[in-house]
Structure 1
């Protein structure tokens, strides 16, 4: 499938997407949603997939939902199209969040609104020093609609999330790290190298283990501690039954 708004690569279960709108700083429209969705189809169908990284080929990660496209629906009263766009974006972010592979966003420049929601849907976020994140929807008379009101509080806490959402203020890379919105900050030119290193590292991990790890963490984060511990035990038990685990345990014991 040919793409117009993204560039992709895949090697040994390592998938990568570069947002690459040639004319604009990657506004998220229905076409971009569809192109990313097509890559997710491939990831979900690939039993050897382990990691998906998302970055930008330009100076900015993504400036959010395509406001020009939304304005057309407002002017023409095409409310079904607008609501469908909201729903499609939410479903896309949920698909990314639910992938049984590790997902990592490499953020440079602006990651605003839907762009930040894309980052928050990923498991890990690496920021370049130029990164600026935020949710400016309040100034448009809207709220984040692709998971921002739900995922941001889980990352920074309810009070901080409310402050960021009601003010709509921009946050630079340093503060984003302090708040926990991003996990690391590196020089802009090092973002791609960091993502490549993560892809190579994760490619060496046992084929079966990453889904168990992700599932245990995500289930525990949404459950009481005792429930999370019980689920951890189940995941660890099933993971240990895998032949590769036996082989790695034996190899380690022989050292």
Structure 2
């Protein structure tokens, strides 16, 4: 049985890696891949206390992931494609809702469903060789895995419309300029940025990060009053935890010894 998505971890950092099964061909998100990805996501959720963050990446340096196998789309019926799209929604939503930071690392093309997968992560980092786009309208359909929802929340409504209406592909530098990605650099610089970012995340409270993540997400659609309430509940949970009390103790002890 083929392995489409590989999960491994090192020093409390998990990595979800899409296998490059065929040279020079991008990984696609068919049912088998989606099912395998969901299985890993369920395991990560059940073991969330073991991880500080998750990296989503591809074995291929040329491609991240693409959504559809375009040849297969020519032979699929309406009911089947509707079922497949809904399956993608379920899995991408599960990825977005992981209770810990998730970073998409992209070194090649992230187009269509691949970009939508990256948008379900908390933020995206890339090398100079990366390219991004939602080319679906050029093929007669639309972004189907919540790209029309997540993309404007990442880069704004007008820029999202421009990318979707034109179907154009943008460079890594342009993606960074418009706020689609958080970092762009050489392969070496990308690894250094990832390492320093993961070290910073790992120093902080897993509980706090898990509680604040949905509050930030919900703030885009909820009222100020709702966000304040969610913050107050989460803050009380944090303050009651042994980890927070230990961190406060260490903070004041460090100040005393200065």
TM over 0.5: yes
RMSD of aligned Cα (Å): 1.8
Ranges in structure 2 where 5+ consecutive residues have no aligned partner: none
Tell me what 1:144 maps to. Answer: 143
Q: Relative to structure 2, which stretch is displaced further, 203-212 or 51-60?
A: 203-212
Cα distance between partner residues in 1 of 2:33 and 2:191: 21
Question: What is the alpha-carbon distance in structure 2 between the residues aligned to residue 156 and residue 94 of structure 1?
Answer: 19
Q: Which residue does the alignment assign to 1:57?
A: 59
Aligned partner of 1:28 in structure 2 is: 29
2:106 matches 1:103: no
SS of the equivalent of 1:65 reads: coil
Q: Separation in 2 of the partners of 1:207 and 1:184?
A: 23
Counterpart-to-counterpart distance in 2, 1:44 and 1:12: 17
Q: In 1, Cα distance between the equivalents of 2:197 and 2:59?
A: 18
For 1:72 and 1:206, the matched residues in 2 are separated by 49
CA deviations 1:108-163 (Å, max 9, x no partner) are 11100000001100001101101110100001111111010000011111111111
TM-score by length of 1: 0.91
Residues 122 and 47 of structure 1, relative CA distance in 2, 3 Å threshold: closer
Aligned to 1:71: 74
Q: How does 1:148-227 map to 2 (within 5 A)?
A: 148-192=147-191, 194-227=193-226
3-state SS of paired residue (1:252): helix
Shift of 1:220: 1.6
Q: How many residues align?
A: 250
Structure 2 CA distance for aligned equivalents of residues 34 and 104 of structure 1: 21
TM-score, normalised via structure 2 length: 0.90
From the superposition, tell whether residues 64 and 191 of structure 1 become closer, same or farther in structure 2 (CA, over 3 Å).
Answer: farther
Contact 2:20 2:58 in 1 (8 A): no
State the distance in 2 between where 1:61 and 1:119 align: 9
Partner of 2:219, secondary structure, is: helix
| 1:196 positional shift | 4.6
Unaligned residue ranges in structure 1 (runs of 5+): none
Aligned to 1:121: 120
Deviation digits for residues 85-121 of structure 1 (CA, Å, limit 9, x no counterpart): 1111111111111110111000111100000001100
